[in-house]
Structure formats: C-alpha cells, structure tokens
Amino acid sequence: MVWLSSRWKIAIMAAPALIVFTALIVYPVIYSAGYSLTDFAGFGDPAFVGLKNYIDLGNDPFFWSSLRNTIIILVVSLVILVPGSFGLALLLRRRFPGGGALRALVFAPVIIAPILVGLIWVFILDPKIGLLDRLFGALGLPQPEWIGGNVLTPYSVALVFVWGSVGFAMTIFYAGLQQLPTDILEASSLDGASGWKQLLYITVPLMKESFAIATVLLITNVFKIFELVFVLTNGGPVHRSETLVSYMYFITFNNQQYGSGMALAVIITVLGAVVSLGYLLLLRGRKSA
Amino acid sequence: MSAPTSPLGRRSRRRTGGIVAAIAAYLITFLILLPILWIVLLSFQSSEKILSNPLDLGSLSLLNYVHTVTSLPLAQMYGNTILLAVVSVTIGTAISFMVSFALTRMIFRRRRVQSGLRFYILAGLAVPVYILLFPVYRLDLALGVFGSYAALIIPYVGVSIPFNTLLLTGFLRDLPTEIEEAAIIDGAGLTRLIWSVVLPVMRPVIATVLIFNVVYVFNEFPFASILINNPDMTTVSLAVSQFQGQYSVDYGGMMAAATLVLLPQLVIYAIFQKQVIAGMTMGAVKG
C-alpha cells in the first residue's frame, strides 16, 4: 500500500469529498451561526446585534408553542412507537404463511415521501373530508378537529409520524430479535419460564441495545419533522401547530427574518447534536461492552 | 413455576397461540395499509361522491385519471427527479468511496490526520439539513447556479457524504487486505486495484448506499422548495406539495395524482424490497 500512497494520490482521492463537505456542510453551519448574530433581512449589509435574536426568540410565544408541540410529538410518538413496534416485531417473528410479505408491507410507509404521507393523511384527518371523522360520526362519537383546531394537531402529527416510522422501528427490533442467542431462550423455556416471564426477564434485557438505537433514531427523526406539518396545517391556525423546524422555515423564508431564522436553526442543531452525542456515546459503550 | 402440562396440551396451546398471533399480524398490517387503500379508492370516485358516499363501489370510474394524466406533467416531474438522482447519487457515491478508501486503506504520514479527517466527516451526521437551507441558497446565488439543476445537485452531493462515508469506511475496515496486497505485489496500480479488486467485493454495500441516496433524493422536499423557482424543473415531491393548491376541491383529481406518484414508488419497492429495507436500516443496525 505504501507504494500507492504518495501525497498527491492521497490528495486526489480525499480532496473532492473533503472540499464538497467543507463547502456545503461545515461552511454553511458557521455561516448560519454568524448570521444568527445579525439583523439581516435579505438586503443591505447585515448589522451585528449580538444575542438579540436569541433573546427575542425567548420572548416569542410562538417559539415556546412550537417547542411544546415538538415535545408533545416526541413523547406521544415514542410512547406508542417503541412498545408498539417491538410488539409487532415479536408477532412477525413467528412463522406463519405470508409472514415475510407482511414484514415488507409494514415497511412500505417508510419509503413514501413525507410530503405525500402528509397529503394521504389529510384525507384521513381532515374534519370535512377525512375518513376518521366519518367513521366517528357513523359510530355516533364526537367528531373532533384532528387537524386545524387549537388542541389536537400535534397529537395528530404524532400519529402520522408513528404511521411513517413503525416499519422502520419494527425492522430494527426484528433484526435485534434475529441476533438473540437461541440457546438462552431454549434453556429458559426448559426451566419452565412462561412466555411473558421469558419476554420480560430475558428477551427485553437482551434487546437493550435495539431499544436504545430505535429510540435515539426516532428522537432525531422527530426533530426533523417538517413536511407533515407543512401539508397538514402549514403551522396554523396562527402558528399554533408549528414545530421548531416548520417555525424556523416560516421565519426564514416567509418572513425573511434571516437573523432570527438562523438563531432558531442553531438552537435546533444544538438540540439535535446533544441527542446525537448521546447516540455516539451509547455506541461506544456497546463496543467496549 | 407453571403447572406441568402434557406435551400434547402444550403443543395445541402453542398452535392456537400461533393462529391468534397470525390473525393479529394480518389485522395490524391491514390497518397500516388502510390509509393507502383509502386514497386509492378515493382516486376512482368523483369529488361529489367523496363528500357524500365514498364507499359506493358502484360509482367508481377512471375519469379522475383521464383528467390527471392530461393536467399533470408526470413525465417531466419524473424526468427531473431521475436526472437529479442519477447525477447527484453518482457523484456523491464516487467521491464518498474515494475519501473512504483514502481514510481506511492509504497510508498517511501522520496517522492522527487520517482518523481526525474521518471524524470530521462523520460529525456531519449531526447536522440537520434545515440549518443548511439558507446558506446553500446564498451559496447557489454566489456561484451563479441558482435556477439550474446544479443548484440542487450540489447540496444533495454534500448532504450524502457523511452517511456514505460511515457505511463505506465501516465496510472497508472489516474487509481483509490480503487480496489487495497480493494484487499490489502482482503490480496493480491504484486505478486497477480499485476497479478490479476493491470495487467488485464492495458491491453489496455500494448497492445499499445507492438505494439509500436515491430514496433520499426522491423524497427530498426542503431544498427543492427553496432552490427551484422554475415550474419546468419541478421534482416529484415539489409537485405533490402543490397538489392542494392545484386541485383545490377536486379531491378525486388530487387522489388520482397522489396515486400516480405513490404506485410507481410502491412497485419499485416491491421489486427491490429486501435491498431497500437493508439500505434504509443498515446505518441504524451497523452504527
């Protein structure tokens, strides 16, 4: 290998990706962080205003409501998704006719473009034309405003996110279940461990890593939810259903308050980085274990 | 300790348990597919029927599709998206492979530089695309590419590098070097080594990388919504985002258009199902 590792050969191999990565990922992050300290509005020279944009965001009720919505979506979808997709993986692990096809079908929503997922769910959740309120009406139940009202939208976004992610999480759990040492499971069932006991005391602890990976990936994906809100409510009414990302998009590209938009983008990035760091630490723990 | 059961009793209990589980699995899968089936059903109904009685199977017709095929520039949407996907994924995979090869196989004078550079690129995994939208828009303007396909290709290539590098360096690290060393002793140069020794064994991981990136470009919306200002350059995702405005209360037409975008995706998924699932989850499982 030494023969082939002259300086210019290494440079030719490594430079293109390093240059593109630096110009399109690293430089923009620095650029955004810089602009978050200015009052830039698209014209003229940006004036340095220090932390004013961050302080203004702290006083902006819509920032707090979009943070609250993001947290609601996060909690609701994790509470449903983690046990739900684990249970589904347990079901689909059993051998029965068509099991493989079901696994593929459950994964299908994962590959659908988020923007199309949103549109599909308009026709389920919309108070006028949606399937859900029609069903509720036929059953004589109240017909709440799933989207567009003041209360339920973040919960509905969580539901749609669950729909789009359940196949992904299930596949992670399924892969984990395939790697379980079968001898431990057999030994425990010979010892008379009943199904539930085995699940609770042996399978779940052995799957700790899959639970951690699925949870962290779902958290980072929740922080990226944008298209769903964009299509379902466009953040309305009056920003009540906005998430952090959709509100950032609005401030930046609709209001053209680039300074405060970038301040919010920096906040989102820091939140995401904290989670990703947790993920990396977790992987390191796994490798040394 | 549970009460001892006879082997026969245990077996029949297990069998009924298995049947219950199978029924539950089919039911849940049906519920998950229901939204898709619903929009496909609506795509065959007139808008009046969608509002009054969408389940009336007697009134299904292809009329929505006739209108949609003429009103929606399907060929153009797909053409644009495929062009963006082919160019950006080819460049992104090629340069990611090159840097991954350099970072795992070539010998740096300073080892620290090598592992440092890998960490530098992998740190990009923590950057959400949303912080890049505005700077990339300004960068495109400054480079004079705003309004061309390059405006989107450049960020798509950039965004793909960290994940590609994660998968490719991970694969190369686990790959034994003996065959490569033998090829070098036999006098292979760098180009021949890569083309005829390294790349052939990397086929599975490269397929994974390609699929992951193609799915990303097909589904990408935030960049497209900001960097495309010419209707002739509309991508599939961008076109879908305009359906609500375009079709307004023509719900049947909107559903036909949605189905025409959805079905090709599902068909391609059905064909490459195993590889797609591997591609989308590999990064998660491999770490």
A261 inside 8 A of chain B by CB: yes
Tokens in use for A76?
A: 């609701």
Question: How many other CB atoms sit within 10 Å of the CB of residue B13?
Answer: 11
Find all residues with CB under 8 Å of A59, minimum gap 6, and list them.
none
State the count of interchain CB pairs (< 8 A) between A and B: 270
A234 inside 8 A of chain B by CB: no
- B32 and A167 within 8 Å at the Cβ level: the answer is yes
Facing B258 at nearest CB: one of A119, A258, A265: A119
Residues of chain B contacting A248 with CB distance shorter than 8 Å: 130
Residues of chain A contacting B271 with CB distance shorter than 8 Å: none
CB < 8 Å from B in window 97-136 of A: 97-99, 102, 104-116, 119-124, 128-129, 131, 134
**CATH number, domain containing residue A214:** 1.10.3720.10
Residues of chain A contacting B133 with CB distance shorter than 8 Å: 249, 252-253
Q: Decide: helix, strand or coil at residue B196.
A: helix
Assigned domain for A243 exists:
yes
Give the residue among B155, B139, B135 at the shortest CA–CA distance from A266.
B135
Assigned domain for A33 exists:
no
Global pTM?
0.90
pLDDT of A289 = 43
Assigned domain for A7 exists:
no
pLDDT of A1 = 64
**Residue A191, CA distances (Å) to A178, A185, B18 in order:** 22, 10, 22
pLDDT of A284 = 66
pLDDT below 70 — which residues of chain A? 1-3, 276, 279-280, 282-289
Least confident of A8-17, A239-248, B4-13, B241-250: B4-13
Question: Residue B1: which pLDDT band, with cuts at 50, 70 and 90?
Answer: very low
pLDDT of B287 = 46
pLDDT in tens, B40-55: 999 999 888 888 888 8
Q: In the predicted model, is pLDDT for residue B5 greater than 60?
A: no
Tokens in use for A245?
A: 């990302």
The letter for the amino acid at A275 is V
Find all residues with CB under 8 Å of A15, minimum gap 6, and list them.
none
Q: What are phi and psi of A32, to 5 degrees?
A: -65, -45
Assigned domain for A5 exists:
no
The letter for the amino acid at B38 is W
Give ipTM to 2 decimals. 0.89
Residues of chain B contacting A286 with CB distance shorter than 8 Å: 287
Assigned domain for A240 exists:
yes
pLDDT of A143 = 82
CA–CA gap between residue A144 and residue A136 (Å, rounded): 9
- A226 and B138 within 8 Å at the Cβ level: the answer is no
- B130 and A245 within 8 Å at the Cβ level: the answer is yes
Assigned domain for A69 exists:
yes
Least confident of A212-216, A226-230, B98-102, B127-131: A212-216
Residues of chain B contacting A167 with CB distance shorter than 8 Å: 32
pLDDT of B283 = 67
Closest residue in B to A17 (Cα–Cα): B95
Number of domains in chain A: 1
Assigned domain for A196 exists:
yes
Assigned domain for A1 exists:
no
Q: Which residue(s) pair with A38 in the sheet? A: A48
pLDDT of A88 = 95
pLDDT of A281 = 77
* Residue scoring higher pLDDT (A198 or B253): B253
Facing B243 at nearest CB: one of A20, A98, A119: A119
* Residue scoring higher pLDDT (B132 or B186): B132
Closest residue in A to B267 (Cα–Cα): A108
Find all residues with CB under 8 Å of A3, minimum gap 6, and list them.
B184
Average pLDDT on B164-180 reads 91
Which structural domain, as residue segments, surrounds residue A214?
A: 39-288
- Domains defined along chain B, listed by start: 7-60 (no CATH), 73-241 (1.10.3720.10)
Average pLDDT on B232-248 reads 92
The letter for the amino acid at B35 is P
Tokens in use for B132?
A: 């890049």
A1 inside 8 A of chain B by CB: yes
